[in-house]
């Protein structure tokens, strides 16, 4: 896709809101997953099972780090758009903003990896419970 594609501020703003909501949901979901892992640690003593649980604990820590990084990047882009909007109020409805394809690709990558981790986690739960 062309990295210099121009879009309207409202479209970018809408996408930012959607992404932030998605990231917040994932972070909340990870809290539930981590709680469940804590319960599993109490129930199982086999080293192999505990190693799998630890692997997921580490993956969830990493996913939360990526969520925080993405929230920060989205916030930076949003502040840039707000600054532009204040300086050029008549241009906000026009497609004059450079599309944020790089950030979209990062979100797509995060979503793909997160869904893979989640699917593997659910397989672990099905196997253990």
Instruction: Summarize pLDDT for 17-70 with one digit per residue, the tens.
Output: 999 999 999 999 999 999 999 999 999 999 999 999 999 999 999 999 999 999
pTM metric for this prediction: 0.86
pLDDT of residue 1: 42
Residue 76, in any domain of the structure: yes
Residue 11, in any domain of the structure: yes
Residue 116, in any domain of the structure: yes
**Half-sphere exposure of residue 57, counting CA atoms within 13 Å on the CB side?**
13
Residue 15, in any domain of the structure: yes
- At 92 the three-state DSSP class reads coil
Residue 1, in any domain of the structure: no
Report whether pLDDT(2) > 60.
no
Report the domain count for the chain.
1
Cα-based distances in Å from 102 to 4, 61, 63, 71, 85: 11, 24, 19, 14, 21
Residue 104, in any domain of the structure: yes
**Domain residue limits at 122:** 6-128
């Amino acid at each position: 896709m062309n990295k210099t594609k121009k879009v309207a501020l409202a479209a970018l703003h809408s996408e930012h809101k959607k992404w932030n909501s998605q990231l917040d949901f994932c972070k909340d979901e990870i809290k539930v997953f981590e709680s469940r892992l804590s319960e599993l640690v109490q129930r199982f003593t086999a080293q192999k099972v505990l190693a799998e649980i630890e692997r997921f604990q580490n993956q969830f820590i990493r996913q939360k780090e990526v969520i925080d990084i993405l929230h920060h990047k989205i916030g930076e882009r949003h502040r840039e758009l707000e600054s532009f909007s204040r300086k050029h109020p008549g241009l906000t409805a026009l497609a004059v903003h450079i599309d944020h394809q790089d950030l979209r690709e990062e979100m797509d990558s995060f979503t793909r990896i997160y869904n893979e981790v989640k699917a593997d986690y659910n397989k672990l739960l099905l196997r253990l419970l």
